[in-house]
Amino acid sequence: MAPYRKDNWFSYFADHYRWSAGLIIALGTAPWGSSDLGEVDMVGKRLQDRVGDDQAWFNEWTRMGLELEGLGGEASSRGRHITASGFNFRACMYYQTGERFRQPKDDKALEVYRRAVLCFKEAAKYTQQPSIESVEIPYAGGRSLPGLFVKSAAEEKGPLPAVVFFDGLDVTKEFCYFWGVRDMVRRGLACLLVDGPGNGESIRFRGLKLRYDYEVPAGAAVDYLESRKDVDPERIGIMALSLGGYYAPRAAAFEKRLKACVAWGAQYDYQALWKRRMELAYKTALSVPPDHIQWVLGATSMEDALKRLENFKLSGVVKKIECPFLMVHGEEDAQVSLTDAQACFHAVGSKDKTLRVFTAEEGGSQHCQNDRLGVAIPYIHDWLAEKLKA
């Protein structure tokens, strides 16, 4: 894994990768309505002398979320719904940013998360472009996965191509919306954002643990999209970020109805990655506290978690991918090495495959290009539009 560079703007909190990465996500997604740069900076300054104190992190982001939720309620009471929508979108991001590092997920954490989801839904009610619809996706065992179906509110000619967008290890469908989905929709694509097993509402409120066979939730998402008259069932793709670099290729290898696949941030052998992290006593780049992986897997210890990660490997799997495939990775990704990305890419069986590595010189070299989303997101969306609208 590449070294964590302490000499660039990505290092908002000196010597603390996880906090820096968490804050940079809120900053980097601001163009899509997730945050206000001044508000994020205000929280960051309040935390400067408490770096590493996750209780302080939770308190300060929750404090900002409460302020924005209050402003949203005040605006709504005066009939200023567009203003209220903007405040509520930002409240959602701040609440989820604060809750993200809290383990265990106690009553306070779950209450904050519940407020975040409600704020997003309140904001979506008054979003005229694009259209954001909360949906339930029928899933195994008579359960369902929560999702957001996003499309242009303008009248379209014929059914739309669509992209299933899964989250990673520790992000959510609401977070993913702020990773430029509004711009994806402007390209004539619909997007189904899903809290898959182990993520978002699915793990917090429905007890759905992380699973290795991601073709199952992906297949459920495709089934759902095929049931919609506004979606073209012959033009459905998939993308996922971070640990989603495992989910999406795994799904595309076995779910042949998928016509394009984007691995935004690579994975190859997730069990081996966690073994290395344990050997280094977690003194490496982590996006969340190390016990997060136990929680999403339902493991009783890290040793148990490693056993449950046995099948989270793409060797021998990605050779089955037949649809067009795009892998996007950062040259200096401190969480997953470029070597792992290259090994996975070379094993992919698709005849139409592309590896895009963002360098330190151009920006976007960090994990999932969070240091320069403004160049990565258009690249991914253009590729999807070319493959699914052809």
For the chain, the domains span: 13-127, 129-390
Structure-block tokens of residue 19: 């906090």
Q: What per-residue confidence (pLDDT) applies to 2?
A: 43
Decide: helix, strand or coil at residue 367.
helix
Cβ atoms of 172 and 28 within 8 Å: the answer is: no
When pLDDT is averaged across residues 93-97 and rounded to a whole number, the result is 98
- Give the model confidence (pLDDT) of 157-177 as tens digits: 789 999 999 999 999 999 999
Q: What per-residue confidence (pLDDT) applies to 10?
A: 61
Q: What per-residue confidence (pLDDT) applies to 153?
A: 87
Structure-block tokens of residue 240: 């996922």
For the residues of 286-315, what is the DSSP string, one character each?
-SS-TTHHHHHHT-SSHHHHHHHTTT-B-T
Task: Indicate whether 156 pLDDT > 80.
Answer: no
pLDDT band at 8 (very low <50, low <70, confident <90, very high): low
d(CA 100, CA 61): 10
d(CA 71, CA 317): 49
Task: Indicate whether 128 pLDDT > 90.
Answer: no
When pLDDT is averaged across residues 207-232 and rounded to a whole number, the result is 98
d(CA 369, CA 377): 9
- Calculate ∠ Cα 260-261-263, nearest 5°: 160
Task: Indicate whether 7 pLDDT > 80.
Answer: no
- Calculate ∠ Cα 82-88-91, nearest 5°: 150
- Give the model confidence (pLDDT) of 12-28 as tens digits: 898 899 999 999 999 99
Task: Indicate whether 182 pLDDT > 70.
Answer: yes
CATH of 13-127, one of 3.90.180.10, 1.20.1440.110, 3.40.50.300, 1.10.760.10: 1.20.1440.110
Q: Do domains 13-127 and 129-390 have the same CATH topology?
A: no
Q: What per-residue confidence (pLDDT) applies to 105?
A: 96
Task: Indicate whether 131 pLDDT > 50.
Answer: yes
CATH (residue range 129-390): 3.40.50.1820
Instruction: Write down how long the chain is.
Output: 390
Q: Which residues, including other chains, have CB under 8 Å from residue 280's CB and lie 6 or more apart?
A: none
- Give the model confidence (pLDDT) of 143-155 as tens digits: 999 999 999 988 7
pTM of the model: 0.96
Q: What per-residue confidence (pLDDT) applies to 14?
A: 80
When pLDDT is averaged across residues 79-102 and rounded to a whole number, the result is 98
Task: Indicate whether 305 pLDDT > 70.
Answer: yes
Q: What per-residue confidence (pLDDT) applies to 54?
A: 97
d(CA 179, CA 6): 25
Task: Indicate whether 286 pLDDT > 70.
Answer: yes
Q: Which residues, including other chains, have CB under 8 Å from residue 237's CB and lie 6 or more apart?
A: 161, 162, 163, 164, 258, 259, 260, 261, 262, 323, 384, 387, 388
d(CA 4, CA 23): 15
pLDDT band at 3 (very low <50, low <70, confident <90, very high): very low
Q: What per-residue confidence (pLDDT) applies to 172?
A: 98
Q: What per-residue confidence (pLDDT) applies to 235?
A: 98
Question: Among residues of the chain, what percentage have pLDDT more than 70?
Answer: 97
Q: What per-residue confidence (pLDDT) applies to 40?
A: 97
- Give the model confidence (pLDDT) of 185-213 as tens digits: 999 999 999 999 999 999 999 999 999 99
